[in-house]
Amino acid sequence: MRVLGIESSCDETAAALVTESGQVLADVVASQVAMHGPYGGIVPELASRAHMQAIIPVIREALSKAPGGLDGVDAIAVTQGPGLVGSLLVGVQVAKALAWSIGKPLVGVNHLDGHLLAVYLRRPEEDSADEGPAMPFVGLLVSGGHTALYRVEGAGDIALLAQTRDDAAGEAFDKAAKLLGLGYPGGPVIDRLASRGNADAVSFPLPMASRKTLEFSFSGLKTALARHVQKHGVPGDEQELADLCASYQGVIVESLVRKAVLACKNQGLNRLVISGGVAANRGLRARAKEACDANGLALFVPPPVSCTDNAAMIAMAAAQRLVAGERDDLSFAVYSRDPDRRRGKFRRDGSLVERT
Ligand code: KG4
Ligand code: ZN
């Protein structure tokens, strides 16, 4: 089965062709980063318009990369939410029209499920025979809009364990970069600077340090950085700036890794998947590997290209449902927020103890 995935939830217009086993045949992403950069964040109306301009050329390009083009497509998957409504509408409407016109099944996908299941994608440039983690696993999803821990039992059975009380980790990177005048998006530039800096140079408080909670919080850290900058100014010296970035990134990474390891222990699971845009962060990847090795956990992190927004992960998340013969009614609507998920305390066998 060949699935055409379409993604337009935020500021990337993307289309991909993926087989049900996760082989990526085509993966095209048109980024709007340069357009939003001067505003220091995404401007929703500009994003919607840019999606409208890009969506057909992006789908065409993806289809041109595999023999058969549209005729070779067996099903269509599209991001239904969460995301910016005006952005989502573009992808969903195009996907519906395409599915209707070629008479193939359509599946609406939760963007966050896509991130969590991106670990099963197999790209031609990878020569790994690794099949990806057996389920269930603990998934740490770290993106620009979400930071949360999940128990992933199956493609259609993903339970929320805990999430951030305020900002997402990606937001913490983006807001810090804005404050330091480093542009948008902040993650990649802070990642680069941090790799040359000393993480012990500036001391920031570790958020939610108690082992009693799996929740995250990054707004206090952002305030601590703002206070530091108020007091000392934005470092003019390149090394000092790198040190400040390394210290700030170090605390975010430490908080993410500690909670992820704690979640694995609480769940009695020894497989951890980290995904979402922030999982491209080299500091996070290195620290997570170290912590997993020390705690006997197997770590799975998709390559950076699968971590940031893409349509291959959307096709992947839909594939299992499609193989089971599922399809969505063409009248489904988009959603801006993550819908309620099964949540609460879980027994080690995955059964739910209580709702919170
Ligand atoms: O998953 P994603 O592409 O889009 C959302 O669904 O939000 O994540 C975007 C976020 C942005 O906040 C960006 O700054 C962050 O991922 N990001 C990074 C890195 N690359 C992207 N954060 C830290 N280090 C990186 N290398
Ligand atoms: Zn995303």
How many angstroms is it from 115 CA to the middle of ligand 1?
A: 12
At 347, is the pLDDT very low, low, confident or very high (cuts 50, 70, 90)?
Answer: low
How far apart are the C-alpha atoms of 116 and 256, rounded to whole Å? 16
At 350, is the pLDDT very low, low, confident or very high (cuts 50, 70, 90)?
Answer: low
Could you tell which of 116, 147, 180, 278 is best to mutate to test the pocket of ligand 1, judged by most ligand atoms within 8 Å of the CB?
278
Q: Is the dihedral of CA 117, 123, 125, 131 positive or negative?
A: positive
pLDDT at 104 over 90: yes
Q: Which ligand is nearest to the CA of 277?
A: 1
Does a structural domain hold residue 225? yes
Query: Which protein residue has the closest C-alpha to ligand 1 atom 1?
Result: 277
How far apart are the C-alpha atoms of 222 and 165, rounded to whole Å? 14
Percent of the chain residues past pLDDT 70, beyond the cut: 95
Same domain for 11 and 106: yes
Does a structural domain hold residue 328? no
Does a structural domain hold residue 6? yes
Same domain for 266 and 157: yes
Same domain for 278 and 150: yes
Does a structural domain hold residue 187? yes
Same domain for 207 and 112: no
pLDDT at 345 over 60: no
Question: Does residue 174 contact residue 187 with C-beta atoms inside 8 Å?
Answer: yes
Same domain for 185 and 297: yes
How far apart are the C-alpha atoms of 98 and 314, rounded to whole Å? 16
Same domain for 36 and 108: yes
pLDDT for 155 equals 85
Same domain for 155 and 7: no
Same domain for 25 and 95: yes
Same domain for 105 and 177: no
pLDDT for 355 equals 47
Does a structural domain hold residue 344? no
Q: Is the CB of 81 under 6 A from ligand 1?
A: no
Question: Total structural domains in the chain?
Answer: 2
Q: Is the CB of 278 under 6 A from ligand 1?
A: yes
Q: Is the CB of 191 under 6 A from ligand 1?
A: yes
**Over residues 214-239, mean pLDDT:** 96
Q: Looking at ligand 1, which atom is closest to the CA of residue 146?
A: 7
Q: Looking at ligand 1, which atom is closest to the CA of residue 308?
A: 3
Instruction: Note down the domain range covering 101.
Output: 2-126+306-323
Does a structural domain hold residue 96? yes
Residue 77: strand pairing partners: 5, 107
pLDDT digits (tens, 9 = 90+) for 150-161: 999 988 889 999
pLDDT for 156 equals 80
Backbone φ and ψ of 292, nearest 5°: -70, -40
Could you tell which of 12, 84, 143 is best to mutate to test the pocket of ligand 1, judged by most ligand atoms within 8 Å of the CB?
143
Q: Looking at ligand 1, which atom is closest to the CA of residue 173?
A: 14
How many Cβ atoms from other residues are within 10 Å of residue 350's Cβ? 15
Does a structural domain hold residue 330? no
**HEC secondary structure over the chain:** CEEEEEECCCCEEEEEEEECCCEEEEEEEEECHHHHHHHCCCCHHHHHHHHHHHHHHHHHHHHHCCCCHHHHCCEEEEEEECCCHHHHHHHHHHHHHHHHHHCCCEEEEEHHHHHHHHHHCECCCCCCCCCCCCCCEEEEEECCCCEEEEEEEECCEEEEEEEECCCCHHHHHHHHHHHCCCCCCHHHHHHHHHCCCCCCCCCCCCCCCCCCCCCECCHHHHHHHHHHHHHHCCCCCHHHHHHHHHHHHHHHHHHHHHHHHHHHHHHCCCEEEEECHHHHCHHHHHHHHHHHHHCCCEEECCCHHHHCCCCHHHHHHHHHHHHCCCCCCCCCCCCCCCCCCCECEECCCCCEEECC
CATH code of the domain in which 89 resides: 3.30.420.40
Same domain for 291 and 150: yes
Residues, beta carbon < 5 Å, ion ligand 2: 143, 309
Q: In whole angstroms, what separates CA 287 from the centre of its chain?
A: 18
Same domain for 315 and 240: no
